[in-house]
């Protein structure tokens, strides 16, 4: 059994859902050596989140963003407003989607379904670069 942990620095992206599967896999070459294991991803931010969702239709990320913006609109009378109108809605969206994912590994590959991809969900208009801690465990 072996453990690896690494912090991935993701480049700044605009608000929306951004497919990061390839970026994550390329940053973790040790995945290829594992017969069985788990990849755990944890984002170190409270205004962005991680999600697994459809990676085939480019309308899906757009619809996810607009749906979450309808659930947590910027014009809601929030108390926490010192960081701008997109900040508190970003915290709400992050709480709804979550800060971590666990993905099984088998024969050196993430066991994502045919249409599944890993997404960075950027909830701020200008959130900046994001850190994701990747922990790999397996044999």
Question: What are the C-alpha distances in Å from 32 to residues 18, 38, 122, 134?
Answer: 24, 12, 28, 15
For the domain that residue 28 is a member of, what is the CATH number? 2.60.120.460
Write out the residue range of the structural domain in which residue 66 sits.
Answer: 2-138
Q: Which DSSP state fits 1?
A: -
- Kindly state the average pLDDT of the residues 45-51: 98
Please identify which residue in the block is written with the tokens 């994550």. 24
pLDDT > 90 in the chain, percent? 99
pTM: 0.96
Total tally of structural domains belonging to the chain: 1
DSSP-assigned states of every residue in 66-95: HHHHHHS-TTS--S--TT-TTHHHHHHHHH
pLDDT in tens, 67-104: 999 999 999 999 999 999 999 999 999 999 999 999 99
């Amino acid at each position: 059994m072996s453990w690896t942990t690494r912090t991935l620095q993701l480049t700044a992206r605009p608000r929306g859902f951004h497919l990061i599967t390839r970026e994550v896999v390329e940053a973790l070459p040790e995945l290829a050596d594992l017969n069985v294991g788990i990849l755990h991803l944890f984002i170190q931010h409270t205004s962005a989140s991680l999600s697994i969702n459809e990676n085939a239709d480019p309308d899906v990320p757009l619809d996810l963003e607009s749906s979450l913006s309808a659930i947590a609109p910027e014009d809601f009378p929030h108390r926490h407003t010192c960081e701008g109108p997109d900040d508190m809605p970003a915290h709400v969206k992050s709480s709804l989607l979550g800060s971590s994912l666990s993905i099984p590994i088998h024969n050196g590959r993430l066991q994502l379904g045919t249409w599944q991809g890993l997404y960075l969900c950027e909830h701020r208009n200008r959130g900046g670069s994001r850190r994701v801690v990747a922990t790999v465990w397996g044999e």
